[in-house]
């Protein structure tokens, strides 16, 4: 026999109204900034590495999992479906990609890997309700997969922007050609660096 408390009818109606309202499944910039999202040590390297690996065009989402040293553990890209922005739908899409490319960390007491999201879209770098829905979806997907919620990055024709941090750059952008892996190799040979997405891309390419 199980015991519990049934929610009041008013509470049930409130919960149903929230779950049915896509606007409730998004995060405002202030909420995102207050969530304690870990900062990327080298955001440009992360963005450039993912841009070279996945070659995104507008409406492309790239979810990547970084280890504690900010090396790439796994990544996946997919095209956003033409439907109203909804954090719940975005959460499900991100979770499906994470489950496909990397095992969950739900058995750990504290997450050690971090998921970041790069979304290539039209428009400028200012926050939109669509961005808020992606933020909500990323945070929820990370919780369900045992990951830390990391940065949300937009890629537009103006460049890239880490929302909530004020860091960004003009290249790469939605129109720029991805840097080749050969160019990363030359940079590594001239000035060795440790960690980061670009380094991991090179290591995996060399292992093939």
- 13 in any annotated domain: no
- 203 in any annotated domain: yes
- 8 in any annotated domain: no
pLDDT at 95: 97
- 81 in any annotated domain: yes
- 144 in any annotated domain: yes
Structural domain tally of the chain?
1
81-137: pLDDT as tens digits? 999 999 999 999 999 999 999 999 999 989 999 999 999 999 998 999 999 999 999
Q: What is the mean pLDDT of the chain?
A: 81
Closest C-alpha among 121, 133, 152 to residue 89:
133
14-53: pLDDT as tens digits? 334 345 566 679 999 999 989 889 999 999 999 999 999 9
Question: What is the pTM assigned to this prediction?
Answer: 0.77
- 153 in any annotated domain: yes
- 116 in any annotated domain: yes
Domain that holds residue 196: 23-207
- 9 in any annotated domain: no
The residues near 152 (Cβ < 8 Å, ≥ 6 apart) are 32, 37, 116, 117, 119, 131, 134, 135, 138, 162, 163, 164
pLDDT at 182: 55
């Amino acid at each position: 026999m199980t015991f519990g408390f049934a929610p009041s009818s008013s509470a049930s109606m409130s919960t149903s109204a929230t779950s049915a309202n896509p606007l409730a499944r998004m995060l405002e910039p202030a909420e995102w900034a207050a969530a304690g999202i870990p900062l990327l040590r080298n955001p440009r390297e992360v963005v450039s590495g993912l841009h070279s690996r996945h070659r995104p065009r507008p409406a492309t989402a790239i979810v990547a999992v970084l280890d504690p040293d900010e090396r790439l553990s796994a990544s996946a890209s997919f095209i956003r479906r033409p439907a109203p922005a909804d954090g719940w739908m975005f959460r499900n899409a991100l979770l499906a990609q994470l489950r496909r490319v990397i095992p969950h960390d739900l058995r750990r007491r504290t997450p050690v890997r971090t998921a970041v999201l790069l979304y290539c879209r039209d428009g400028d770098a200012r926050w939109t309700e669509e961005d808020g829905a992606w933020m909500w979806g990323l945070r929820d997907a990370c919780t369900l997969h045992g990951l830390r919620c990391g940065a949300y990055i937009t890629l537009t024709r103006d460049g890239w922007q880490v929302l909530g941090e004020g860091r960004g750059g003009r290249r790469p952008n939605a129109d720029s050609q991805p840097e080749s892996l050969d160019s990363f190799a030359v940079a590594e040979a001239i000035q060795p660096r440790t960690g980061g997405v670009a380094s991991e891309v090179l290591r995996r390419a060399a292992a093939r």
